[in-house]
Amino acid sequence: MPMRTITNPILPGFHPDPSICRVGEDFYLVMSTFEYFPGLPIYHSKNLADWQLIGHGLSRPEQLQLSTENPNAFGLYAPTLRFIKDRFYLVCTNVGANEGREGNFLIWTDDIAGEWSAPIWLDTPGIDPTIFADDDGQTYYLGTHKEIYLRTIDLASGELGPRQNIWTGSGAADPEGPHLYKKDGYYYLLISEGGTSYGHMLTMARSRSLTGPYEACPNNPVMTNRSTNLPLQAAGHADLVQDTQGNWWAVCLAVRPISYPLRHLLGRETCLLPVDWSNPWPVFGEEGHLPEIIQVDTAAAPKETQKKTSKPDYVTLFEWDPTLIEEEPHGFLLHPNQTGLSDQGKLAAVFQRQTAFEQQFQATFDCRQLTDGQAGLTVFLNATHHYEGYLEKTASSQQLVFRRQIGSLWKVEKKLPYAADMVTLQLSADKETYRFSVLDEQGQAQLLGSGETKYLTTEVGGVFTGIMVGCYASASSPQQTVRVRDF
C-alpha cells in the first residue's frame, strides 16, 4: 500500500493549545496567542497536514483588552472551537487585570473567515474552557478550576447552570484542558496533566452518564513523550477530530528542544497524530507516543489537496492601534511613540513567528521621516529578553546599533556610523546563534552583531510564548514615521 509521510509539527513556531473541528470536508484549527493581537488565529485545511490562515477570532480592539502585565503569561489561554447548529463558537479565557474584561468568554460567527461577535462574558472560574453538544441538543460548558467541572450553557445568552465537578484527573499535577466526546454510548473525557512542560501527558476517563462517575483509562497516560529521547517533548493539550472516512486524529502541542539541559526556543507547536479507536479505549500515535514522522497508508491518510501557506500571521503586542501601525501593500507604516521593546506596553511594532531553527528574515526601513528615534529588526521573546539591530538617529549623530537584553542585564555591543536614511537589515538564525547584518547596495551582508539562542529560550526567560521576529520603531517626539518594506 502506498504511504504518505507527515512531519510534525504541522504548524511550526508559537502555536500552542490547538483545538480543531470539522465541517463537511473542511477542518478548522485555533490556538492560544496570549498577549499578541490579532488573537486566536483561525486556520483551514482540507487534509489536516497543510494549513492556511483565514482570519482571527479577535481582530477588533473593542472586543476585549489584553493585559500589559506579566509578559508571556497573561492574555488569551487555550481556546476551543466548535460548530454547533450551523454556527461556529469559540470559548476562551482572557487572563489578566483588565477591569471586568477578563475571565472566560464566548464568541460566535456564521462566517468563519469573517468577523466574530463581541464577547459574551461567562460568570464561571478557571481556565481552559470547552463546550460540548449532546445528542438531545443540550450544550455544556466544561472548565478547569482545581478539577474538571461541568455546567449547562445557553450559547445565545451565556447563562450557565449549576456547577458539577466530574473528575480530578489521574493523580498528576495540573489537570486541565478538558474536551468531551461521545462514542458508543460512553462520554469520553480527555484532559492534560503534569503541567505544560516536560512532564506533560494526556489522560482519559469515561462514563455512561454525562455527570459521572468517570472511570479512568487503565492505560493512562494515553499519550506522553516524557522520559523518552524522542525529538518532540512536552506533548499534551490535545483535541480529537474524525475525518470523512471515519478515521480519528488528534492535534496537540509539543516542543522541539535545542540542547541539553532541555531548552526550547520556538515555543509550543501544533502537531498531528493518528488515533486508533477500534477498541473501547483509544491508542494515540505510536503506542501512546507522539512521533515526529507519521507514516500512514494513503487510504487512511489525509488527501494532498493543497499547499502550505507562505503568508505570515502578522501581529503586534496588546492592540493593533492604527495610530501606530498602518498596513500597506508591501509592508507597514510605523508611527512610533516613546514605548520601546523593554517597556511592556503598546508600541509601533509588527511581529511574525520564527518557524524554523535555520531561518532568515529581512526588512528595509525608510527612516527619512525619523529625526530622533530608532527603527530596526528584533528577535523577541519578551520585554526582558530580546536582541535587536537598528538605525538610531539623533540631532547630532546617526548610527547602526546592535543591542542585547537578557533579564535585567543589557548591553550595546556595537555602534557603526551610517549616513543613509534607508537601511536593509537581515537576521539569520540557526540552532545556536542569531546574526544581525546590514546589507549594502549590492546585497552583501556586513555583520552587525550576534547572540546565543539559548538566552532567549523559554527555560531562561519565558513562560508560554515563543520567539517572534519583529520590525519596530520608537521616537522621543511625535509625528514621525518609518516605512517598512519586504518583511
Ramachandran region of residue 171, left (φ > 0), alpha (ψ -120 to 50) or beta? left
Nine cell digits for residue 257: 528542544
The CA-based diameter of the chain, rounded to the nearest angstrom, is 76
- HSE-up of residue 145 (Cα within 13 Å, Cβ side): 18
Query: What is the rounded CA–CA span in Å between residue 167 and residue 74?
Result: 26
Label residue 137 exposed, middle or buried (CB < 10 Å: 0-12, 13-18, 19+): exposed
Contact 218, 172 (CB under 8 A): no
What is the DSSP track for 323-386? Answer: TTEEEETTEEEE---S--TTS-S--EEEEEE--SSSEEEEEEEE-TT-SSEEEEEEEEEETTEE
Residue type at 4 in one-letter notation = R
Count helices and strands in the chain by DSSP H and E runs: 1, 39
For residues 167 and 149, give the distance between their C-alpha atoms in angstroms, rounded to a whole number: 7
- In angstroms, the CA 112 to CA 101 distance is 23
All residues at 6 or more sequence positions from 386 whose CB lies less than 8 Å from its CB, including other chains: 341, 342, 378, 379, 380, 404, 405, 456
Which DSSP helix (H) or strand (E) runs through 461?
helix 458-461
Q: Are 313 and 53 in contact (CB under 8 A)?
A: yes
Q: How far is CA 90 from the centre of its chain?
A: 15
Query: 159, 177, 161: which is closest to 169 by C-alpha?
Result: 177
* Whole-angstrom distance, CA of residue 400 vs CA of residue 321: 27
Where are the alpha helices (H) located in 180-266, listed in sequence order? none
Name 433's bridge partners.
452
Quote the CA–CA distance of 140 and 406 in Å, as a whole number: 45
What DSSP state is assigned to residue 2?
-
Give every CB contact of residue 343 below 8 A, 6+ residues apart in sequence: 383
Positions marked active-site:
17, 176
Question: Using an 8 Å Cβ cutoff, are 383 and 461 in contact?
Answer: no
